[in-house]
Chain A
Amino acid sequence: MTEQKTEPHWPLWEVFIRSKNGLSHRHAGSLHATDATMALQAARDVYTRRGEGHSIWVVPSNAITASDPTDKDVMFEPSESKIYRHPTFYDIPDEVGHM
């Protein structure tokens, strides 16, 4: 198996699938392929064997920029302290009815 180490790796792709009921594309998993055409074909075989999707996106994994999990608090805490962004923050008399 010595040639194993010299054999070049196939690039990694992330697969996103739009399910039949018209939702947004959603991350389904990843796979290895040499180019986008092959990634699409492989995604069809690997992730839609039971009619899971209507549309597939494939994206080279290294093209994704992700937030750093260690910055989670800094990134998301500000949205948690702003309760006035939620409708329940405001007092409206019941007599006004549904709003």
Chain B
Amino acid sequence: MYTQALNVKDEPTAAGDPVLEARFQAHVDAELKIEPNDWMPEGYRKTLTRQISQHAHSEIVGMLPEGNWITRAPTLRRKAALLAKVQDEGGHGLYLYSAAETLGTSREQMFEQLLSGKAKYSSIFNYPTLTWADIGAIGWLVDGAAIMNQIPLCRCSYGPYARAMIRICKEESFHQRQGYEIMMTLARGTPEQKAMAQDALNRWWWPSVMMFGPSDTESQHSDQTMRWKIKRFSNDDLRQKFIDATVPQGHFIGLEFPDKDLKFNQETQHWDFGEIDWTEFKRVIAGDGPCNKQRMKQRRAAHDNGRWVREAALAYAEKRRNREAAAKIAAE
């Protein structure tokens, strides 16, 4: 679900072959796709590998805050839906790892980068899911923000990434709708339930708005990725689009946004909003959010506890191969 524009500098473009580079750029400018074995500038490969693998890590880490509520979902319907959603996130992670692998980095290397803390993932998953309403807020806001970010990526110049994103976007819309339905049900329930929905919105609104990454005035890496047609819209444009779409949805179910500066601007036809706390964003990205340590601990434990399964599957496959080979010899 969740790509995030992280504030990382462009990879320096090593002085490559100007003829190949010009041909590559012309290909991209003509809206043609770049495929795995095509020639590409090293910077393009590095930027995409980083972006796609971080996106994959976000999907995988994103299973944790929601998985936290599977056993405590209020009804069987909600439980089945949440289970399916978390399973989808796992699937999305796998599509994305596959896409990143086509650029020449192995899955094991990417896991290692995540587990050692070298690779980043979306800051949003370092916030805790304290109540059931948080599951509604995540689906509605976090997946909503992710969809805004991801739709333009379906047209990304790199073929495998674009194809993975098309699949992901198709599956994502159920996620947002199930989240909004949870919020709507709570907002129309008892006063306590409505308060729970409001509290979840209060806590998730700003982190969701931050998912679009630093403001364009701060962001250092938009130009090159735009030229390469990896990115199509600026962080601020996407953020505004998200706010414009989401605010009326919240008002429709009688909830208030935790931003006293939020008001509709008749002139621009957009919602004006208050100042974003970028120090919080930077802190969470840097590893000091409410749940960073817990998330990484859980991921490492899952990886370590799964080691015997990976080893056993390999040993079993080898045993079967040996047996088949022996049977073949015996038959001759």
A contacts, CB < 8 Å to B:
1, 3-5, 7-10, 12, 29-32, 34-35, 38, 45-46, 49-50, 66, 68-70
B35 at interface, CB cutoff 8 A = yes
B151 to chain A minimum Cβ distance, whole angstroms, is: 19
Residues in B whose Cβ lies below 8 Å from that of A68? 37
Q: Which residue of B lies closest to A70 (CB)?
A: B39
Given A49-B88, A66-B37, 17 new contacts (CB under 8 A): A1-B112, A4-B111, A7-B310, A8-B314, A9-B108, A29-B95, A29-B98, A31-B94, A34-B317, A35-B316, A35-B317, A35-B320, A35-B321, A45-B91, A46-B91, A46-B95, A49-B87
Contact of B94 among A8, A46, A70 (CB under 8 A): A46
B contacts, CB < 8 Å to A:
35, 37-39, 84, 87-88, 91, 94-95, 98, 101, 106-108, 111-112, 115-116, 163-164, 171, 307, 310-311, 313-314, 316-317, 320-321
Contact of B164 among A3, A8, A29 (CB under 8 A): A29
Residues in B whose Cβ lies below 8 Å from that of A7? 108, 307, 310-311
* Complex Cα spacing A7 to B108, Å: 9
Q: Please state if B314 and A34 are interface contacts (CB–CB under 8 Å).
A: yes
Contact of B313 among A5, A38, A46 (CB under 8 A): A38
Q: Please state if B38 and A30 are interface contacts (CB–CB under 8 Å).
A: no
* Complex Cα spacing A38 to B87, Å: 18
Q: Which residue of B lies closest to A67 (CB)?
A: B37
* Complex Cα spacing A18 to B285, Å: 42
Interface class of chain A by DSSP = mixed
Contact of A10 among B84, B87, B163, B314 (CB under 8 A): B314
Q: Please state if B108 and A4 are interface contacts (CB–CB under 8 Å).
A: yes
Residues in A whose Cβ lies below 8 Å from that of B101? 12, 30
Residues in A whose Cβ lies below 8 Å from that of B37? 66, 68-69
Residues in A whose Cβ lies below 8 Å from that of B107? 9, 32
Residues in A whose Cβ lies below 8 Å from that of B87? 49
A76 to chain B minimum Cβ distance, whole angstroms, is: 14
B19 to chain A minimum Cβ distance, whole angstroms, is: 13
Q: Please state if B35 and A9 are interface contacts (CB–CB under 8 Å).
A: no
Contact of A49 among B91, B111, B310, B317 (CB under 8 A): B91
Q: Please state if A4 and B313 are interface contacts (CB–CB under 8 Å).
A: no
* Complex Cα spacing A34 to B314, Å: 6
